[in-house]
Structure 1
Amino acid sequence: MSRIFQALAAISILAGAVSLATQAAAAENNTPPPTTATRPAAGGPDQSSVPNAAPPATRTQTTGQSGQDPAVKEMNERERSKVEREGK
Protein backbone atom coordinates (compact mmCIF):
# COMPACT_ATOMS: atom_id res chain seq x y z
CA MET A 1 0.00 0.00 0.00
CA SER A 2 2.80 2.44 0.82
CA ARG A 3 4.44 1.72 -2.57
CA ILE A 4 1.29 2.94 -4.27
CA PHE A 5 1.45 6.20 -2.32
CA GLN A 6 5.16 6.57 -3.10
CA ALA A 7 4.49 6.00 -6.80
CA LEU A 8 1.64 8.52 -6.80
CA ALA A 9 3.82 11.08 -5.03
CA ALA A 10 6.63 10.59 -7.56
CA ILE A 11 4.21 10.93 -10.49
CA SER A 12 2.73 14.10 -9.03
CA ILE A 13 6.19 15.65 -8.48
CA LEU A 14 7.24 14.80 -12.04
CA ALA A 15 4.02 16.24 -13.46
CA GLY A 16 4.57 19.47 -11.53
CA ALA A 17 8.15 19.76 -12.78
CA VAL A 18 7.08 19.22 -16.40
CA SER A 19 4.29 21.79 -16.03
CA LEU A 20 6.67 24.35 -14.52
CA ALA A 21 9.22 23.86 -17.31
CA THR A 22 6.52 24.24 -19.97
CA GLN A 23 5.25 27.47 -18.42
CA ALA A 24 8.75 28.93 -18.21
CA ALA A 25 9.44 28.14 -21.87
CA ALA A 26 6.14 29.69 -22.93
CA ALA A 27 6.90 32.86 -20.94
CA GLU A 28 10.22 33.32 -22.77
CA ASN A 29 8.55 33.20 -26.19
CA ASN A 30 5.74 35.67 -25.50
CA THR A 31 5.96 39.01 -27.29
CA PRO A 32 4.24 42.13 -25.97
CA PRO A 33 0.94 43.11 -27.60
CA PRO A 34 0.98 45.80 -30.28
CA THR A 35 0.53 49.39 -29.12
CA THR A 36 -2.19 50.42 -31.54
CA ALA A 37 -4.93 51.25 -29.04
CA THR A 38 -6.98 54.32 -29.85
CA ARG A 39 -7.59 57.04 -27.30
CA PRO A 40 -11.10 58.32 -26.50
CA ALA A 41 -12.15 61.72 -27.79
CA ALA A 42 -11.11 64.65 -25.61
CA GLY A 43 -14.60 66.17 -25.38
CA GLY A 44 -16.45 62.99 -24.57
CA PRO A 45 -19.73 61.85 -26.14
CA ASP A 46 -22.79 64.05 -26.34
CA GLN A 47 -25.87 63.08 -24.34
CA SER A 48 -27.11 59.79 -25.71
CA SER A 49 -30.30 59.42 -23.65
CA VAL A 50 -33.58 61.15 -24.38
CA PRO A 51 -34.86 63.46 -21.61
CA ASN A 52 -38.03 62.38 -19.83
CA ALA A 53 -41.14 64.52 -20.34
CA ALA A 54 -42.52 63.66 -16.88
CA PRO A 55 -42.58 66.34 -14.16
CA PRO A 56 -39.89 66.12 -11.48
CA ALA A 57 -40.61 64.08 -8.36
CA THR A 58 -41.99 65.84 -5.32
CA ARG A 59 -40.78 65.40 -1.76
CA THR A 60 -43.63 63.04 -0.94
CA GLN A 61 -43.56 60.97 -4.13
CA THR A 62 -40.32 59.41 -5.27
CA THR A 63 -39.69 58.49 -8.87
CA GLY A 64 -41.47 55.31 -9.90
CA GLN A 65 -43.84 55.37 -6.94
CA SER A 66 -47.52 54.85 -7.65
CA GLY A 67 -50.62 54.99 -5.46
CA GLN A 68 -50.74 52.17 -2.91
CA ASP A 69 -53.61 49.75 -2.60
CA PRO A 70 -55.67 50.68 0.49
CA ALA A 71 -55.21 47.20 1.96
CA VAL A 72 -51.42 47.44 1.63
CA LYS A 73 -51.46 50.93 3.09
CA GLU A 74 -53.43 49.68 6.11
CA MET A 75 -51.04 46.75 6.68
CA ASN A 76 -48.06 49.11 6.53
CA GLU A 77 -49.66 51.47 9.04
CA ARG A 78 -50.37 48.57 11.42
CA GLU A 79 -46.78 47.34 11.22
CA ARG A 80 -45.40 50.88 11.63
CA SER A 81 -47.43 51.43 14.78
CA LYS A 82 -46.41 47.99 16.08
CA VAL A 83 -42.73 48.86 15.60
CA GLU A 84 -43.24 52.19 17.38
CA ARG A 85 -44.90 50.45 20.35
CA GLU A 86 -42.74 47.31 20.66
CA GLY A 87 -39.57 48.16 18.78
CA LYS A 88 -37.90 45.97 16.22
Structure 2
Amino acid sequence: MKDSNKFFYGGWIVLALMAVSGTATALTITTFNIYLNQFTQSIGISPTQFALCSTIINITVMIFSPKVGKFLQEHHAQAVELL
Protein backbone atom coordinates (compact mmCIF):
# COMPACT_ATOMS: atom_id res chain seq x y z
CA MET A 1 0.00 0.00 0.00
CA LYS A 2 1.28 3.48 -0.85
CA ASP A 3 1.97 6.06 1.81
CA SER A 4 -0.89 8.57 1.63
CA ASN A 5 1.07 11.31 3.44
CA LYS A 6 3.35 12.00 0.48
CA PHE A 7 2.64 15.14 -1.51
CA PHE A 8 1.61 14.40 -5.09
CA TYR A 9 4.43 15.18 -7.57
CA GLY A 10 2.10 17.14 -9.83
CA GLY A 11 1.26 19.36 -6.87
CA TRP A 12 4.89 20.57 -6.75
CA ILE A 13 4.68 21.45 -10.43
CA VAL A 14 1.45 23.40 -9.90
CA LEU A 15 2.96 25.28 -6.94
CA ALA A 16 6.10 26.13 -8.93
CA LEU A 17 4.04 27.38 -11.89
CA MET A 18 1.88 29.47 -9.56
CA ALA A 19 5.02 31.08 -8.12
CA VAL A 20 6.45 31.81 -11.57
CA SER A 21 3.13 33.17 -12.86
CA GLY A 22 2.60 35.30 -9.76
CA THR A 23 6.09 36.75 -10.02
CA ALA A 24 5.74 37.54 -13.72
CA THR A 25 2.33 39.10 -13.21
CA ALA A 26 3.55 41.22 -10.31
CA LEU A 27 6.51 42.47 -12.36
CA THR A 28 4.27 43.31 -15.30
CA ILE A 29 1.74 45.18 -13.18
CA THR A 30 4.32 47.17 -11.23
CA THR A 31 6.27 48.27 -14.33
CA PHE A 32 3.25 48.93 -16.56
CA ASN A 33 2.99 52.63 -15.69
CA ILE A 34 6.69 53.24 -16.37
CA TYR A 35 6.27 52.51 -20.08
CA LEU A 36 2.64 53.58 -20.57
CA ASN A 37 3.34 57.19 -21.59
CA GLN A 38 6.17 56.33 -23.99
CA PHE A 39 4.10 53.58 -25.58
CA THR A 40 0.97 55.66 -26.05
CA GLN A 41 2.97 58.61 -27.42
CA SER A 42 4.76 56.38 -29.91
CA ILE A 43 1.51 55.00 -31.35
CA GLY A 44 -0.27 58.36 -31.18
CA ILE A 45 -3.09 57.73 -28.71
CA SER A 46 -3.82 59.05 -25.23
CA PRO A 47 -3.30 56.91 -22.11
CA THR A 48 -7.06 57.10 -21.50
CA GLN A 49 -7.80 55.58 -24.90
CA PHE A 50 -5.31 52.81 -24.26
CA ALA A 51 -6.76 52.10 -20.81
CA LEU A 52 -10.29 52.03 -22.24
CA CYS A 53 -9.21 49.57 -24.92
CA SER A 54 -7.52 47.37 -22.31
CA THR A 55 -10.64 47.47 -20.14
CA ILE A 56 -12.88 46.45 -23.04
CA ILE A 57 -10.56 43.57 -23.91
CA ASN A 58 -10.42 42.35 -20.30
CA ILE A 59 -14.21 42.49 -19.89
CA THR A 60 -14.69 40.63 -23.18
CA VAL A 61 -12.25 37.92 -22.08
CA MET A 62 -14.01 37.56 -18.71
CA ILE A 63 -17.41 37.22 -20.38
CA PHE A 64 -16.45 34.80 -23.14
CA SER A 65 -13.82 32.62 -21.44
CA PRO A 66 -16.36 30.29 -19.80
CA LYS A 67 -18.26 29.96 -23.09
CA VAL A 68 -15.09 29.20 -25.06
CA GLY A 69 -14.02 26.72 -22.39
CA LYS A 70 -17.35 24.91 -22.58
CA PHE A 71 -17.20 24.89 -26.38
CA LEU A 72 -13.67 23.46 -26.38
CA GLN A 73 -14.66 20.85 -23.82
CA GLU A 74 -17.56 19.70 -26.01
CA HIS A 75 -15.52 19.73 -29.23
CA HIS A 76 -12.19 18.51 -27.87
CA ALA A 77 -11.69 15.73 -30.41
CA GLN A 78 -12.36 18.07 -33.33
CA ALA A 79 -9.96 20.69 -31.98
CA VAL A 80 -7.17 18.13 -31.57
CA GLU A 81 -7.70 16.87 -35.12
CA LEU A 82 -7.22 20.39 -36.50
CA LEU A 83 -3.77 20.64 -34.94
Normalised to the residue count of structure 1, the TM-score between the two structures is: 0.32
- The structure number with the bigger radius of gyration is 1
Higher relative contact order at CA 8 Å, sep ≥6: structure 1 or structure 2?
2
* Larger fraction in helix: 2
